[in-house]
Structure 1
Amino acid sequence: MILEHAEFHIHPGKQAEFEAAVKLGVETIISKTPGFIAYQLQHSVEQPETYFLFIRWETLEAHVVGFRESPAFPAWRAVVGPFFASAPNVMHLREAHSTF
């Protein structure tokens, strides 16, 4: 399993709209991609314009090929992109240890 970690900085005052857009985009677009497992959106307490999106994928290829190279990716960006104050930072994680 791979955990995608995306950090978003959005325009001030758009938190509720962004959260709704992410929910809509994940549930209607990303979740339809083969290899998608689950997602979680976290909101920074100290930096109210910062969000972290975690998506569990079966494999790295499910995300970088199956989703990012498909028509679903521009559809996703059309839903959430207008809220971005800067380009998202995305990385992929593999669990090393956990009690979580």
Structure 2
Amino acid sequence: MVLEAVMLQVKEGMEADYEAAFRQASPIIASMKGYIHHELQRCMEEKGKYLLMVQWETLEDHTVGFRQSPEYQEWKALLHHFYDPFPTVEHFERVALT
């Protein structure tokens, strides 16, 4: 499993519109091959700051399957205009503890 983690900064005053657009966009990402789960968290200390976490089966399910799909263009149109600055996407893998 791969965890995509993105710290998002939404333009001031657009938080409610962003959350509505995110609800609209959620079924898009959920329909993709290799998708496992996603959640959006709102920061309690800093207005307009969000954390998006998406679990994928493989890195390529996100970087190729989703990012190079027509569905990504729809996701992008719904959400990308809310961000300032544009976020950096990072991927993580679980560390074995035993």
Would the TM-score normalized by the shorter structure come out above 0.5?
yes
Q: How many Å apart are 1:26 and its aligned residue?
A: 1.6
Q: How many Å apart are 1:37 and its aligned residue?
A: 0.8
In the other structure, the counterpart of 2:19 is 19
1:36-51 matches, cutoff 5 A: 36-51=35-50
Structure 1 ranges of 4+ moved more than 6 A: none
How far apart are the structure 2 equivalents of 1:97 and 1:8? Answer: 28
Please give the per-residue CA displacement for 1:35-92, whole angstroms capped at 9, x wherever unaligned.
Answer: 0111110111111111110001011110001000111112101001121121111100
How many pairs does the alignment contain? 97
TM-score by length of 2: 0.91
In the other structure, the counterpart of 2:33 is 34
In structure 1, the gaps of 5 or more residues are none
In angstroms, what is the RMSD of aligned CA positions? 1.3
Output the amino acid matched with 2:64: V
1:3-18 matches, cutoff 5 A: 3-18=3-18
How far apart are the structure 1 equivalents of 2:41 and 2:15? Answer: 12
* 2:54 partner SS: strand
In structure 2, the gaps of 5 or more residues are none
